[in-house]
């Protein structure tokens, strides 16, 4: 199983993950993506969902119209692991294609 990241490793990873911040009171990271419209937002979610399923690592997320709020944490590990960093990196890359 993936191990929780040290404070140092977490800080370093977040440094190269634009838009992602630490969640207060919880070992997790979050980002709010804003797209042009619902179609772009849901397209992002569809692409990200396929990657997440392949990784067997699933986001906590919420969609309202063109906004997608994402929280990433590794439930099995009780906190942030490299899997969350990998998924966050992939989500940034996917969003770059379509973001408003």
73 contacts 80 by C-beta, under 8 angstroms: yes
- The residue of the chain with the least Cβ separation from ligand H2B equals 76
Only one of the segments 4-12, 29-37, 54-62, 89-97 lies at the binding site for ligand H2B (rule: CB under 6 A); that segment is 54-62
Which stretch in 12-20, 24-32, 34-42, 71-79 sits in contact with ligand H2B by CB under 6 A?
71-79
Give me the DSSP letters along 8-39.
Answer: HHHHHHHHTSTT-EEPTTSS-EEEEEEBSSHH
Q: Which of 24, 20, 14, 16 is nearest to 59 (CA)?
A: 20
Please report whether residue 58 would count as binding ligand H2B according to CB under 6 A: yes
Q: Does 62 interact with ligand H2B (rule: CB under 6 A)?
A: no
75 binds ligand H2B, rule: CB under 6 A = yes
Interaction site with ligand H2B (CB under 6 A): 56-58, 74-76
């Amino acid at each position: 199983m993936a191990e929780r990241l040290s404070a140092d490793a977490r800080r370093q990873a977040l440094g190269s993950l634009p838009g992602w911040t630490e969640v207060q009171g919880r070992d997790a990271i979050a980002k709010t993506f804003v797209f042009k419209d619902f179609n772009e937002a849901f397209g992002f979610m569809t692409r990200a969902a396929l990657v997440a399923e392949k990784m067997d690592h699933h986001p906590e997320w919420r969609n309202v119209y063109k906004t997608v709020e994402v929280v990433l944490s590794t439930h099995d590990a009780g906190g942030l692991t490299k899997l969350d960093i990998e998924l966050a990196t992939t989500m940034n890359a996917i969003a770059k294609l379509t973001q408003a």
